Structure 1
């Protein structure tokens, strides 16, 4: 699908770990392994972790 190729290109531009997280989430969505609520929770947890790591620096 062209949409997925476009999304992959954009994901590659994300900095560091954010790119990895986005790729994993996209795979989870495509496979239907997680609910929207579960994915939202995972995103919040990852953002929280990234913010805490930045505060420690």
Structure 2
């Protein structure tokens, strides 16, 4: 449990977009419902969205 609290504290120091992505990733890993390739695709999609949003600014 202490590891999760320490990890959460470190995640909170990330830029806001990465906090969201990290929390989703940890949630999916802990649930064990998605395969590694599904999680990788989810990460790629989120990163793509972040990049596109930043390019639009």
Same fold (TM > 0.5): yes
Structure 2 residues without counterparts, runs of 5 or longer? none
TM-score, structure 2 as length reference: 0.84
Partner of 1:19: 19
Deviations 1:25-53 (A, max 9, x none): 10110110111111111111111110111
More relative contact order, 1 or 2 (CA 8 Å, 6+ apart) = 2
Spell out structure 1 runs of 4+ moving beyond 3 A. Answer: none
Question: In the aligned structure 1, how far is the partner of 2:15 from the partner of 2:30?
Answer: 22
TM-score, structure 1 as length reference: 0.84
Q: How many residues align?
A: 57
